[in-house]
Amino acid sequence: MTKRHQREPHTATQGNSPQHTYQQRKQFFDRLLTIYGRKPVLEALQDEQTPCYRLHLADSNKPGGIIGDIIALAERRHVEICYHDRLALSRISRNSKQDQGVAADLACPNHLQFEDFLADLPQGNFSLIALDGVTNPQNLGMIIRSVTASPCHGILLPRQGTAAITPLVIKASAGTVFKSRLIHCDNLPQALEALNQRGASCCTLSSHSEQTLTEFLPTGPVVYVLGNETEGVSRQVSDRCKAHIRIPMHNGVESLNVAVTAALLAFRQQL
């Protein structure tokens, strides 16, 4: 493997303790989002508003064409370029069948870990959309787009059981995934319990609930939990929610698409 323009983020300042410097570096790398595929990486590099930290290329890529365009853009933007063998690149992209020999680490300033979010909770009332088992990339991308455009504070996203941020998700989000506030957690039930203890009202959405959305009037922070359209919210997650509400349906329609529901909830405090 060879590297060019290699650098590490400048986070340390004179007088910082080693522990403080470590935390700064950890927070920086926690905010990196790795994307793969020639077209997604090219489009990310073309957007000057998308901060690209590092470009990864397979050393077996043929020069010229779109690879040449990617390299030229990276060099113009002073992005670090790293060359790997195909096996090493597949470990970075985690999708050897679709990475096309290209991956990139994007610095997304609003992506963070749940522990960091909990340590610095927003002041006053806020709302979150939490996802439980939403595995459809199209739905996830549309949810990200709607929530990013709304006054909702962000999306609580479990690492397990949720669609990964793939080119399909990026496309469905219309590129807003790079601007979105995604709060990653290891365990959604535990995250909801922690929010409950800090005064948030966690609630699930279900067509079988008695209380309607208009009847639900939280007095503090609120977390709306959405499940997938087949199984809904899991029992473990539902048990951590104090309220269970529904959106009234008419004309025999049983439910809304999860992305549409997320949009309604995300804009609720503004409407």
Q: Are residues 117 and 96 in the same domain?
A: no
Q: Are residues 100 and 163 in the same domain?
A: no
Average pLDDT, integer, range 173-200: 94
Q: What percent of the chain lies above the pLDDT cut of 90? A: 71
The Cα–Cα gap between 173 and 142 comes to: 5
Could you tell me if 132 and 261 lie in one domain?
yes
H helices present in the chain, as ranges = 18-30, 38-46, 65-76, 86-93, 114-119, 137-149, 167-172, 188-197, 235-238, 258-266
139 and 94 in a common domain: no
pLDDT in tens, 125-154: 999 999 999 999 999 999 999 999 999 999
pTM over 0.85: no
Domain boundary among 107, 135, 152: 107
Question: Does residue 271 sit within a domain?
Answer: no
Does 80 share its domain with 122? no
pLDDT band at 269 (very low <50, low <70, confident <90, very high): low
**pLDDT value of position 17:** 65
> Does residue 7 carry a pLDDT above 50?
no
Average pLDDT of the segment spanning 86-109: 94
Determine the average pLDDT of the residues in 166-178.
Answer: 91
For residue 20, what are the domain limits? 2-107
Residue 47 CB neighbour total at 10 angstroms:
13
pLDDT at 35 over 70: yes
Query: Would the pLDDT of 4 be above 60?
Result: no
- The first and second tokens of residue 69, run together, are 């365009």
68 contacts: CB under 8 Å, gap ≥ 6: none
Strand order in the sheet with 222-227: 112-113, 182-185, 154-158, 127-132, 222-227, 201-205, 243-246, 211-212
Question: Which residues pair with residue 175 across a beta bridge?
Answer: none
Q: Are residues 124 and 233 in the same domain?
A: yes
Are residues 92 and 159 located together in one domain of the fold? no
Which tens digit of pLDDT belongs to each residue from 255-264?
Answer: 899 999 999 9
Q: How far apart are CA 52 and CA 174, in angstroms?
A: 17
Clarify whether residues 138 and 214 are in a common domain: yes
Residues 65 and 122 in one domain: no
Average pLDDT over residues 172-188: 93
Answer yes or no: is pLDDT of 20 > 70. Answer: no
Residue 132 has a pLDDT of 96
Quote the pLDDT of residue 38.
95
Least confident of 25-29, 126-130, 205-209: 25-29
Q: Which of 56, 74, 107 is the last residue of a domain?
A: 107
Task: Check which CATH number belongs to the domain holding 196 and give it.
Answer: 3.40.1280.10
The predicted pLDDT at position 19 comes to 64
Residues 134, 252, single domain; the answer is yes
Q: What domain count does the chain have? A: 2
- Pairing assessment for the beta strands 102-107 and 32-36 based on DSSP bridges: antiparallel
Averaged pLDDT, 202-224: 91
Whole-number pLDDT of residue 184: 95
270 pLDDT more than 60 = no
